Chains A and B, each alone.
Chain A
Amino acid sequence: MEDAEEEEGREGRRPAAAGLIEKATNSTRPEVDPRLLKAIKSVVRHSDSELRLSAQTLMSLMKRDHSQVRYLALLIIDELFMRSKLFRTLLVENLDQLLTLSVGFRKNQPLPAPAAVASVMRSKAIEFLEKWNASFGIHYRQLRLGYDYLKNTVRYQFPNLQANAARIRQERREKEMRTKEILLKKFESLKANLASIKDDIQSTVDEINECLDIIQNKEDNVPPAPVDEEEIEEFHNAELRQIRLDSLREGEKVQENSENKVIFDALRELYKVLVTKHLVAVQEGISVLIRVEGADNRFRDNTLKELIDIRNHLQSMKRKCEDSGCALAKATTAEEEDIWEEGTLESFANGQSFAEEKNSVLSVASTSGKIEDKTSEGGSSKFTVEKQQGGYRSTESNPLRSKLMAEAPVMKWGSFLDNWGSNRDVLANQRGLELEGHWGRVDYDAVIPAEKIAELNVRATVYKEDPVEIQPCRAPLKKGGLCPRKDLRVCPFHGPMIPRDDEGKPINLDPTEEMQSELGGSNSSVEEMAPDLVEQLVKQAVRNVRERDKETAKKRHHDKQDLKRAKLAKVREHNEAVLRDAALASTSRSSYIGEGTEAASGPGSLARNKRDTLASMLKKKETSKDRLAQKLLSTRARDATVKQLTAEGVSNYMEAFPNQW
């Protein structure tokens, strides 16, 4: 009873595996439908007869004269081969046939039509054979034979995946070992030199302290800069106050002069040593300690702690030095300048404070920028003097300025104003021109030249007509009043628009007068002239008009044709652009996409469509789209290789100098 049922079930399932396989291989996609594959596996797993049947089916599919079918069949074969022992024993019997059909190593049996799929299948088959040989070769002489034959007799290039992976792993391990060794060496040297480094640092720090002490003591007797209360009141916004305070603080600082020049020099020297040597050394020591492993941890931790302390100390010393004015951090000045620029922009509106503003900017900028310039001037007096000078200058520049302002074109605000008139090359990164907020590597060679920037900044403006005030007709109306119609040239009721006075009488302008007089003249002369002459004249006039009309018509025709042509060109351009986009979007499978849309648009069932596409894969077709895609692909491939090469270079560099990254 049960047997019968089972038998029945098997009967029911019998076509299942074969049918599923047929269905799975009847597709144009580059991989087997995972759901179908799963179904095949689950069916085949529970029954040996199914497995035998599917092996037969797969082998017969491999004989199909279509590379796509063979390729999909090969993928299924691989799946089953890696899983079932029975399948292996079945398949291995005909391995030479399978290899002939999938690798196509025999001259008289080349792979069938879609050449792209065929080449993919060949490489896949070789890869599979290698994998099978690696995993099961020991149990199947046939596998070993096939592998050996393809490798040593036909001399196919096997991908050698496992060996490659092993090699890469080995290399990485070696690299790590090397880095570790270097680190360890550094650690050892650090261990040895730690005391001397500390001594050095200590001595430098002491010297700096002494220098600072001397300076401070010397300058103590200089009275602090007087603060002008009234002037402070003039600064209304916080920035200005800030600037003011900064400048005051600057003023408080000890300035270098001929007396303490030696000390300052010494201090500067010491500062340089501190920054370039000790701080760097300590930083390096810290990084080495962080990265090193295995050595006695206690020592490491202690040293690390110590070094961090030293570093903090050094940084504070550095700050002290900077405060004392012997050296300046460039970054901070740059920032400050930025702020000032903003200030000028903001305070530009209120002209009164502009002068003040400007000269304060000048003074602060100069004090912070170049101390040496003002060593001759007194700390406090200099400020007012400069201010006066500045005020004077600004008043002087005002008329010039207003003149220029009157001349200058009024621009709408835009981002192009950011680098208005700048003539610098701009750094570019892969995201475009934006360099702020970009923390990655900056390639200083990748610049966009200034001309290019200028070119990019060319602005398009839309022509705007000046608003014209249309005058009313103002012809006198019968019921009194004036005609309120506003027409540009001709009023439909009162003829051409002419300037009129308040009562509506036309103000005779020169041309009209002349015309009228001319008209009058002609009238008189017409009467005098012979009627035939008039007739002739009229005819001539008519002919003239006709000719002109004809000409204009012709011209219009030409224009129309030109327009049409231009339109067509535009359409063509657009089409090409669209095609290019499509080619870009789809890679090598552009033909697939085309077919897909074809299939979608056509009627007919899905299966038929698929068969159609399978058949159509065999057809060779070379369209302009394909050519375009090919070209694009080749450039893309070139880009990719270039990228890969650079990446390789970077990795080579990293390998060559493992201690520098």
Chain B
Amino acid sequence: MWKEIGDREFGKLRPNLFSNRIKSSRIASLQLSNHKEIVSSHRGSINSLQVDLTEGRYLLAGAADASVAVYDIQRATDHEGDGLIAKHRSLFVVDKQHEHGHRYAISSATWYPIDTGLFVTGSYDHHINVWDTNTTQVVMNFKMPGKVYRTAMSSLATSHMLIAAGTEDVQVRLCDIASGAFAHTLSGHRDGVMSVEWSTSSEWVLITGGCDGAIRFWDIRRAGCFRVLDQSYSQLGRRPPLQTRSTANKVAITKSSSTAQSSSVKSRSLQRKNTNGNSLKHAGLNRYSAQVKGSMKQRLHPGMLSTQDRATAHYGAIIGLKSTGDGMYLLSAGSDSRLRLWDTESGCNTLVNFEITRLQTSKPIQLATTQDSAIVFVPCMTTTKAFDMWSGKTMLNFRGHYENVSCCWYSAQDQELYTGGNDRQILVWSPANSTTGEVDEWRKGQAAALDQDNWSD
């Protein structure tokens, strides 16, 4: 590590690369944290976890006992065992006792992406509430036609404040916080919608996954969905090799950061085409672009071909969706215990085989990826597994929950993973050699003296 720091100082190592290396090494050593403990104030299973996107400090958790709690994950409320264990108690809890609280289980709790002044909760009591964090009062209330499974707000949106809500109902509704009314009603799914995800590359694109096994892409500026993912429509051969792909991703990231706003999918794909100027792949790329053209054509015609409209991404319900940080790929989890990685440009199944044995099927699950999209964290029954995004190999197994895990959140800032399960616990998984304060070190030494070999004979 010191060598790397030296290299960075001499300029041999670029700062970005240096930080990435350190981060990845920290991620590789994630384990159940003994020093950081979130004291769950919920009496039901944790359904949703999110750390706020602005400060990376406040963890919002929604649970099945209709309670929402916010935890400060940076500063502990109290300590135990001579400062060995830092306990994080909830800053506040809103539960059934609250006059405007939800009556039934909260399925989704998300922060307002711009600041921590608001958060949105969706519940099985058919309501979506928008809360003022500081006063813990409901500022807005949307009545939905059925149980709310998932709510989402776009993290890039600058021109709208829409909450996309997936409910029991076949229609996906977009609730406008600005007006307090439903802005859109997107119909196309044939069953309830369990997962909703905004594209991370375009503020207009919404991805929804339904219980009918379809994943639909919507451009909210137009009517109808413009793409339905088909699991049999794959592109294994046309994919650039892994190595170049990951570098390409990085380049794409840097480019996207350098270019001011990449607003449309199309521009994105063009960009991508430019970066992959490889003679060997030209033929494939040509077909690829033809495909894109095809989809473009379909986008012009809202009433899609019925065969395409009936395509399914999974056998069974889509229980989780997650788009990668750069918005180029989409991960979907289905009740058929599969995890699929889709290329958002082409809508192709990349056929990455994730070594998943079983996923829970009854509830939506919440996936998480690392910032550089190298690792995906998936709740698999009682464990959480970390898979390599591109090879599908299992990297880490997080065993700690005693019942099914339903949600996880990766905090890129601290390289920590938070998981919430049906056993009402929120567990913190942190890098093994997490350095704590200097003062604590000595204390820890004292405490560790108790945890030694003790052979009496």
Taking Cβ atoms with an 8 Å cutoff, the residues of A that contact B are: 38, 41-42, 45, 82-86, 88, 93-94, 96-97, 136, 138-142, 145-146, 148-149, 153
Contact = CB atoms under 8 A, between A and B. Distances in A.
By DSSP majority rule, is chain A's interface helix, strand, loop, or mixed?
Answer: helix
Interface of B: 32-34, 37, 80-81, 84-85, 382, 399-403, 423-425, 427, 447-448, 450-457
Contacts of B450: 136, 138-139
Contact of A149 (B423, B447, B455, B456): B423
Contact of B451 (A45, A93, A96, A136): A136
Contacts of B455: 41, 45, 83-84
B402 A149 contact: yes
A642 to B, nearest CB: 40
A82 B456 CA distance: 10
B400 A96 contact: yes
24 contacts: A38-B457, A41-B455, A42-B457, A83-B453, A84-B453, A85-B453, A96-B399, A96-B401, A96-B402, A97-B399, A136-B450, A138-B85, A138-B447, A138-B451, A139-B34, A139-B448, A140-B34, A141-B33, A141-B400, A141-B427, A142-B32, A145-B402, A149-B423, A153-B403
Given A38-B457, A41-B457, A139-B34, A145 B424 contact: no
Contacts of B34: 139-141
Nearest to A93: B399
A432 B152 CA distance: 85
Nearest to A145: B400
B424 A94 contact: no
Contacts of A82: 454
Contacts of B401: 96
B399 A94 contact: yes
B457 A139 contact: no
- Which 3 residue pairs across A and B have the least CB separation, nearest first? A138-B81, A139-B451, A149-B402
B451 A146 contact: no
Contacts of A88: 451
A86 B423 CA distance: 28
Contacts of B451: 85, 88, 136, 138-139
A172 to B, nearest CB: 29
Label chain B's interface by main secondary structure: loop
Given A94-B399, A138-B84, A145 B453 contact: no
A153 B423 contact: yes
B400 A142 contact: yes
Given A82-B454, A145-B400, A153-B403, 12 more contacts: A42-B457, A83-B454, A96-B382, A96-B400, A136-B450, A138-B80, A138-B447, A139-B34, A139-B451, A141-B427, A149-B402, A153-B424
A93 B453 CA distance: 18
A85 B452 contact: yes
A105 to B, nearest CB: 8
A83 B400 contact: no
A38 B32 CA distance: 33
Contacts of A96: 382, 399-402
A141 B454 contact: no
A47 to B, nearest CB: 13
A204 to B, nearest CB: 67
Nearest to A88: B451
Nearest to A38: B457
Nearest to A146: B402
A38 B455 CA distance: 11
Nearest to B447: A138
With a 10 A CB-CB cut-off, give which of B81, B425, B451, B452 has the most chain A CB atoms.
B451
A139 B400 CA distance: 15
A356 B447 CA distance: 94
A146 B403 CA distance: 11
Nearest to B33: A141
Contacts of A148: 425
A82 B402 CA distance: 23
Contacts of B80: 138
A86 B452 CA distance: 9
Nearest to A140: B34
Contacts of B454: 82-83
A141 B37 contact: yes
Contacts of B84: 138-139
A149 B80 CA distance: 19
A83 B450 CA distance: 11
